[in-house]
Every structure is written in structure tokens, then in C-alpha cells.
Structure 1
């Protein structure tokens, strides 16, 4: 059965008010969710890493970790990479997500070092298509995943459904081309505005993407995360909408 997860971005209003992610995890667990993704940019002090770990343990949650950094820079491993994995290990995280960086161009030995560090830290890794020209186009994403596969790398792929619109790409075409590479799915819907600065996420039932046709095509071992700001009173309804599709 597909695991539904919640990225803490869902609670953006609380995060902006200074609520710690460790304090949000019990709220997530009360929805019957067992998987949460915490975001590095909202960890404000060192003690929060241990607080997140304890809160996840207390609430029966597995954790993923979103790191808004490139996995490789200038042809080599990001200088902060091992430190990011140390943070993940400290929180007992399962998967760490990075931006693609220039991984499509790095030597096989660089990817081998990345895989070795991930193994040593007991985590899996994924790269994402984000909203930037460098890391968000279908061309660069396809090239990154192709290169990783060609050199025998183990880095997975987080498919962010809504981000394609910020790059002027066709989300349906991207899904068809990349669906066999996906290891994590970030679910959001968008209003489909023609101008980039008019684009915004919507409630799942209100956007232009036919996400209900995509989820059944994913294997049951691919977690599906809600990853867009939602008013707290509406989160349960959005989770229910996803459950209706993946548990049908």
C-alpha cells in the first residue's frame, strides 16, 4: 500500500510564526500519517535536531529530510554533504533529498563517493526537479538521472509534480517520461496561470493537473508526500483525497 507522507511545508503558516518542526510532528501523526519530511531551512538551532528525532520516535514517525543544497558543485561533492548526512543520521532519517547541482556532468568516482557516504550514514538519497533553470528543467533532470544510471549510482529521484509549471514544462509529459525513475513523489496542484509570477499552488481538487491519473501508475513502495501550504483545518481533507486514490 502506498505510504502517504507530509512535508512540513504543509504547515507554512505555523513555520512562519516560529513553530518548531519538532512541535508539528505530533499534529502530523494525529492524522494517521507515519511518514514526515522535515526541511533543513526551518531548523533554527542545534538542539532542534535532537528534538525532531525524539518527537518522531515518540509519535511513531519515519523521517525524510529536505536539504535545499546542490548535491554536487563544480564537478565535486558539495563541501557540506557529509555534514548534512550527519544531521540526517542524528535524526534517524531514512532519505535525504538534494537539488541536482551539476551531477549530470561529474565523474563516476564522485557519484561512487556519494553512494559510499550514504551507505555509511544509513540513508538513501534523492535529487529533485526544483523551480530553477539549473535544477528544474526536464532536459537537465533527464540528463542527471541518465548519468547516474550509466555509472551505476544509487541516487533516487523525487518527482515534484507542481514545479514543472514554474519552468514552463508539461507536467504530464514529464511524468510519462520519468515515471519509471521516481522513488519519491511530491504532490501539489497549481492554478495553471500563463505568467510565472501568477502561478500558485491550490488545493488538490482545484488545480489543473490530473494527479489522480498519475498516482495509480506508481508502485506501492513509492511514498507520496503532500508538499504545499495548507490551512491546518484543511489538511485532513487533503490527506483523505489522496487516500481515496491510492487506497481505492
Structure 2
């Protein structure tokens, strides 16, 4: 399926293939050909999936991504705010890595935001880098519920911080929140969407492919910005990974075209 004009871009999160599969296939760079062949527009590179020594080769990975006709987002498994509301001291390193990767966005969890905190130093730091920081709701009581997320973006807007939101559609379930309510409340801040669904199995929530879900993801996605890139983070599994990936790229592109 060809991409219609002015339709949201589709990003493949490398973790969607599973940590074991990524390792067995030869790392994240080995997935680029599959992602490109499936018709995706971009790739979300995960810091936690790098093998030893790969962090020093971000410029080379950036070139590989460009050669495959893709753009990059960069995800770090860390929080923006640590205990007590302190800005993560490693944030400067993460931003530098994102710049080296040529990433458009740096995805990071909110963490322990404290309303009223002075964010001036954070603003100065962000202005020193090209990448946009996209703060995500995670599966914790601190950074995964609506009220602190709302408070952070209210503060960020007042200070004109160059930040946006990564809206993870399924993470709300892990913290007992209504994803559709959150989508309607936070939509104006959302510049990136993690498309994901989850089912309960043996008393625990598990991420599942869209076709294996109850379909509630459609209403949530429809409440979010039609132009925000859609990142496929749900499991992509099967004998032919290119075909499986292409199926969901086409499904989301069709949905985006109808939004």
C-alpha cells in the first residue's frame, strides 16, 4: 500500500520483535531491511537493546538508517525526573546520543515530576540539542497516571519547554487508568503514539497484536492527533517478519488515511 499524502508516518519499534529475536537476528541494525521492505517510514531505536560497544557507533547506525530510507526516534529506558523531582543527571548524555543518531525524537518516561519545580535548567539543556524530547506515560504510579502528566505539560507549556508527549495507548491499563479519557485530555500535547493493545492472561496484562485484542484501541487512536506518527510496539511475530510487519503498517496507514 502506497502512503497517501499528509497521513501520519508509521514507525516500527525494534522491541516489537522481542529482545531474544533482536539478539538472534544480529541486533537492531539487522532489522532495518525488514522495516524498510515492510513500507514503514521510521524506526525507534532502543538503548536497552544495544550490545556492548554499539553506543560508540551511533553515527554509523544513523547512516545505515538513512540508507534504508528511514528516519530514527531514540528511546531510553529511563525517567526524566528521579526521586524528589530531580532531573535525570544522565539526560545530557541521552540527548547527545540522540543527536549522534540523527533522531527526530528522544523518548523518555516522565518519572517523579514535582509540580512547582524550577524547570529553567531543563529548558536551557534542551535548547542545546536538535532532538525533540517526547515524554511518555509508563506503567508506574508516578509517571503513568493522568494527573502528574497533565501537571507536567501545564508547567512545560507555561515555560515554553520544547517537549511533547509520547502517548502509549496500553500503558494506562497497567495503572488502572482509562486510556480514552487520557487521550481526550492530553491530545493537544501528543506528537508520537505508541500503538499497543493488551489482554489479561493468568491475572496479568500482556501486550498483544491488534488483531488479538478487543478492538478498543481504535477508539483511543481516533481521539489522538491524526498526523502524529504511529509507532508499532505490540508483538510482531511469525515466520515471515517482513510480511507481518507490512500487514500492520498497511493496517495503520489505512486507519490514518480514514481519520
Query: What pairs up with 1:90-109 in 2 under 5 angstroms?
Result: 90-105=100-115, 107-108=117-118
Query: Does the aligned pair in 2 maintain the 1:71–1:101 contact within 8 Å?
Result: yes
Q: 1:2 aligns with which of 8, 12, 18?
A: 8
User: Any gaps of 5 or more consecutive residues in structure 1?
Assistant: none
Q: What is the root-mean-square deviation in Å for CA atoms of aligned residues?
A: 2.1
TM-score, normalisation: structure 1: 0.89
Query: Does the aligned pair in 1 maintain the 2:44–2:75 contact within 8 Å?
Result: yes
TM-score, normalisation: structure 2: 0.86
Q: 1:70 aligns with which of 79, 91, 114?
A: 79
Give the paired residue count.
244
Flag the 1:182–1:33 CA change in 2: closer, same or farther, 3 A: same
Q: Which moves more between the two structures, 165-174 or 41-50?
A: 41-50
Query: Does the aligned pair in 2 maintain the 1:86–1:121 contact within 8 Å?
Result: yes
Secondary structure of the residue aligned to 2:17 is helix
Quote how far apart the aligned CAs of 1:54 are: 2.1
Distance (whole Å) between structure 2 residues aligned to residue 244 and residue 94 of structure 1: 24
User: Any gaps of 5 or more consecutive residues in structure 2?
Assistant: 1-6
Q: What residue is the counterpart of 1:82 in the other structure?
A: 92
Distance (whole Å) between structure 2 residues aligned to residue 106 and residue 98 of structure 1: 20
Quote how far apart the aligned CAs of 1:89 are: 1.1
1:206 equivalent in alignment to 2:250: no
Q: What residue is the counterpart of 1:142 in the other structure?
A: 150
Q: What residue is the counterpart of 1:235 in the other structure?
A: 245
1:42 equivalent in alignment to 2:52: no
Secondary structure of the residue aligned to 1:93 is coil
Q: What residue is the counterpart of 1:22 in the other structure?
A: 29
Distance (whole Å) between structure 2 residues aligned to residue 214 and residue 48 of structure 1: 38
